[in-house]
Structure 1
């Protein structure tokens, strides 16, 4: 199927889902909409702003002022194009990921050629051919366009669609060597959802590798451009809100403090519902350190030569451990996995993870109905499903990392196993 046909079919499916009678049900599902990205809360914030009421005075609106201004303009001028706009945004995300993966495939080819002489003779057959490298971008595009998580995320008209677009644009800018573009888009994504700030590390490494300059100078320049862009966005947002920085508490503060405990597919809501209040600050800090700080240093030290893998893993971890996750975040990082198709043969948990994704995706809505509407289940049932879903994602990420390490070892040491010059044998006693 050609690129145009894929985009047309995916676009028609999204546009049709937005106009069906069940759209309201899709848009309000807890797996799709959260207090941060909900379309319902967005239009409420726009309504308050249109009536000269500060939407950040209450506890219903948590988007950035830039998003508020943008959607206020669109709803006032051309509200009828909103379904088409979300569809175009999502298709653009897929195309940017396609372009990005093509650049990454070229980088894989170049790095493979550099180390070709160091690869063991037994492992020469494992080298990636041009045909295999060219297949990856097609798979990336297909997975994003037809992944049910991504499709439902767009159909629910959540602002995660825009966040995914900004992250994809930043990855494309970094893979093309455009420092200002990459930093500007990742600053916009960070300004909206905070957690994309993690991606500045792989982006800085990627830009240093592509530009082939002084690494330290390149890192500093990238970080400086990012900080300036983010600082400008914070200042401009305050300017929109008549010079007030009160919006910071209802955006960044809301993400970090987790005051709204409406159930979602994440891990925060249940823990803080059951927790004694005097322990809350301790565990909020522990959970946010886990989501924002804990993995960045060890993963960077181990995979600094693979910034693409580092970016993929950091996006996945932030999707798992953020305070208000949704299926749109999951669908985005799943679409990046085909770039690592050559690692799938080294992965041992593929079947288990695949089954867990299917089962939990089916059980989630079922258990939610039993809990909320039938009254024959309780919060423990739904949290058990979300915990299993998060566990499956963790297995997926760790399996991917171990697969990379195993392939790296095999390329260097060969695929044959011998002990004292004789073939190795596994004996069960």
Structure 2
């Protein structure tokens, strides 16, 4: 299928689903919509703002003021373009990921050429050629365009579509060496959902590698542009809300304190439903440290020479451990995995992870119906499915990292293994 035909088919599919009679059902699914990205809550926030009521006074609206004003003017002036707008933005995200993957693949090839002298003779057939690299970029495009998670995320008209676009633009800016574009768009994504702040680390590493200047100076400039951009967005949001910073509690505060325990595909809601109130602060801090800070330093120290893999893994981990995840977050990082197609032969859990994804994706809606509508199941059933889904994602990421290390070791030392003169097998535990 040609590239243009892929865009046309994927666009028509998304537009058809948005105009389907079952659209409300899709838009309100707990796997798709959360208190942060729900189209229903966005409409309510715009309605309150239109009637001169502060939407952040209550507990229904948690998007940033910039997003509020953006959709306010669209709904007032041209509401009929919303289905086309969401479809176009999602296709634009796919295109940016396609361009980004091509740039990333070029970086991978340059890195491979630099390390050619360290590669063992028997491992040289494992080196990537141009055909494999080009094929990976096309897989990235196809996976995003036709992944059910991404398609349903767009069909539900969630604001995660905007977040994915912002992150994709930031990655494209970093891979192209455009520091201002990368920093401004990752600041916009952070302002909307907070967790993309993790990506400033791999973005700084990528920019330093692409621009090939003073490494420390590049890091400082990247961090400075990001902080200034984020600070300006916070100020701009306060200006929109008539100089008030009260919106911060209902945006960042809502994400960090997790007051809404409506079920979703994450791990927070069930745990804090069962948690004694006087332990809540301790475990909220523990969960958020796990999501925001725990993995950044060790992963950066180990994979600083491959910031593209670092970015992919951090996006995946934040999608798994954030307080209000949805399938749109999962679909985004799954689209990046084909860049690492050359690692798949070193992965050991592909079949288990694939089966778990399929089974949990089918069981989730089924168990939800049994719990909420039939009354023949309970919260434990649904949480069991979401826990299995999160476990499969963790297996996927750890397997990818182990595969990278195994391939790196094999390239340097060759594929043959002998211990005491007998064939041996390399196993990472």
- TM-score (structure 1 length as normaliser): 0.98
Output the CA distance in 2 between the equivalents of 1:118 and 1:352: 34
* 2:388 equivalent in structure 1: 388
Secondary structure at 1:69 match in 2: helix
Is 1:403 the equivalent of 2:407?
A: no
Secondary structure at 1:336 match in 2: helix
Is 1:71 the equivalent of 2:89?
A: no
* 2:16 equivalent in structure 1: 16
* 1:81 equivalent in structure 2: 81
Deviation at 1:420, TM superposition (A): 4.7
Equivalent residues in 2 for 1:333-412 (5 A)?
Answer: 333-412=333-412
Is 1:332 the equivalent of 2:306?
A: no
1:226-277 CA-to-partner distances (Å, cap 9, x unmatched) read 0000000000000000000000000000000000000000000000000100
Is 1:170 the equivalent of 2:170?
A: yes
* 1:254 equivalent in structure 2: 254
Deviation at 1:418, TM superposition (A): 2.3
- Taking a change above 3 Å as real, the CA distance of residues 380 and 425 of structure 1, as seen in their structure-2 partners, is closer
Deviation at 1:424, TM superposition (A): 4.2
Is 1:153 the equivalent of 2:153?
A: yes
1:299-326 CA-to-partner distances (Å, cap 9, x unmatched) read 0000000000000000000000000000
Structure 1 runs of 4+ off > 3 angstroms?
A: 419-426
Secondary structure at 2:158 match in 1: coil
- Taking a change above 3 Å as real, the CA distance of residues 416 and 253 of structure 1, as seen in their structure-2 partners, is same
Equivalent residues in 2 for 1:21-420 (5 A)?
Answer: 21-420=21-420
Gaps of 5+ in 2: none
- TM-score (structure 2 length as normaliser): 0.98
Output the CA distance in 1 between the equivalents of 2:116 and 2:298: 27
Output the CA distance in 1 between the equivalents of 2:424 and 2:219: 46
Output the CA distance in 2 between the equivalents of 1:130 and 1:4: 22
Deviation at 1:3, TM superposition (A): 1.1
1:321-372 CA-to-partner distances (Å, cap 9, x unmatched) read 0000000000000000000000000000000000000000000000000000
Output the CA distance in 2 between the equivalents of 1:422 and 1:330: 43
Q: Number of matched residues? A: 426
Gaps of 5+ in 1: none
* RMSD between aligned residues: 0.9
Output the CA distance in 2 between the equivalents of 1:206 and 1:266: 30
Deviation at 1:132, TM superposition (A): 0.2
Output the CA distance in 1 between the equivalents of 2:69 and 2:326: 24
Secondary structure at 1:335 match in 2: helix
Secondary structure at 1:266 match in 2: coil
